[in-house]
Amino acid sequence: MLHTVPAFDRIGDENAFAVLARATALAQAGKDVINLGIGQPDFRTPAHIVEAAVKALRDGHHGYTPATGILPLREAVARRTLATTGVEVSPESVMIMPGGKPTMYAAIVMFGEPGVDILYPDPGFPIYRSMIEFTGARPVPVPMREENGFAFSAGETLALITPRTRLLILNSPANPTGGVTPRAEIEKLVKGLEAHPQVAILSDEIYDVMTYDGETHTSLLAFPEIRERLIVLNGWSKTWAMTGWRMGWSIWPNSAESGRLHDKVRKLAVNCWSCVNAPTQYAGIAAIDGPQDEVDRMMAAFDRRRKVVVEGLNSLPGISCITPKGAFYAFPNVAGTGWKAKPLASALLEEKGVALIGGPDFGVHGEGYLRLSYANSEENILRAIERMADFLAGGRPH
Ligand code: PLP
């Protein structure tokens, strides 16, 4: 057997992709599968965005671009950041990345090594923990609790920080819970971080516009006191239904005090992928600068489905679901069914053709929960709930 470095024995996976593969295989074998598993909008990328990419190719934009991304795109990101957060960022601090995930990768490998701690939300996006383990750093879960609406608790987060802590990962609105951390809690957290100047912050804000019931997203960019140690992750995948285009952006500090993080990530890009493909970058400008009516329509549909899914789940025996305030996920508590979450998710897929994800795929604090992505039609959501009701009424032993 070839000898690979131990880091590759520690690297994890994202089970949503395995569930998607199984659901697809079942569907190909003729089973009627309702997919509430994968976290991607079921809408098409708006036509004007697609056209911008086609035009870019026709205009000859098919060569390398700067590793940081083309300037008009970084300027568009700066304009959009000002519009959504009220904060001015320089296009020089923007990095165009091949998706949202590469920013996680870059930030975590930049700070992680044996002997240091990295704090991350649990339940949370599984790649955080996986990449932390890859670097040899110690992953320290910050529990996201149902009683807090799955928001970060400033007190609990700050209590986990030690002199070994190098990086704190935040995510709001959150995957997999739909939790949104209120501004007051973020203010408390930022205040507490003053006592820990060695801690860098990675704020994953990829669901920033996806909030409901008048809830607003607070960007960590709103706090100048942490700007020199803050990395903000964002991107096109969710907001403009562009998961397969593979492009995201992030904002990095570049002062001497910060350790010139932007320059470091630029060099990582030069070494790994050179640049994001050129036509996609032109599509990114069209997404930011073009009409947002399709985004609004998508959000209105998500909001309607959110109500349907929460009401449906709460009608099921042994299941209760708080109303998520953001993203497009519901995270029902299924402890009352007597089932462990992963066997329940797998039985629902195999026996009832309902694809969803067991909470433990998002961390140890996800036991007792399922994640349902409501990126599917209201009709399919209702059919899925009916099938779940049927399954639970069957009284199958677990
Ligand atoms: N961050 C969070 C919280 C996510 O849920 C996702 C995707 O599911 C990403 C980042 C990654 O986005 P991308 O597909 O652009 O890499």
Lowest mean pLDDT among 104-108, 375-379, 384-388: 375-379
| CA 60–ligand 1 middle distance (angstroms) | 30
> Percent of the chain at pLDDT above 90?
95
- Nearest ligand 1 atom to the CA of 236 is 15
**Domains 7-45+293-394 and 62-289 equal at CATH topology level:** no
How big is the chain, counted in residues?
398
- Nearest ligand 1 atom to the CA of 248 is 15
| CA 39–ligand 1 middle distance (angstroms) | 8
What is the predicted pLDDT for the residue at 15? 86
Model confidence pLDDT, tens digit, residues 14-62: 888 888 899 999 999 999 999 999 888 889 999 999 999 999 999 999 9
Mean pLDDT of the chain: 96
Check pLDDT > 90 for residue 259: yes
Q: Which pTM was predicted?
A: 0.97
Ligand 1, atom 7, residue with closest C-alpha:
39
- Nearest ligand 1 atom to the CA of 235 is 15
CB distance 235 to ligand 1 below 6 Å: yes
Domain residue spans of the chain: 7-45+293-394, 62-289
Model confidence pLDDT, tens digit, residues 51-72: 999 999 999 999 999 999 999 9
For domain 7-45+293-394, give the CATH number: 3.90.1150.10
CB distance 171 to ligand 1 below 6 Å: yes
Model confidence pLDDT, tens digit, residues 301-354: 999 999 999 999 999 999 999 999 999 999 999 999 999 999 999 999 999 999
| CA 364–ligand 1 middle distance (angstroms) | 20
Look at the domain 62-289 and name its fold: Aspartate Aminotransferase; domain 2 (3.40.640)
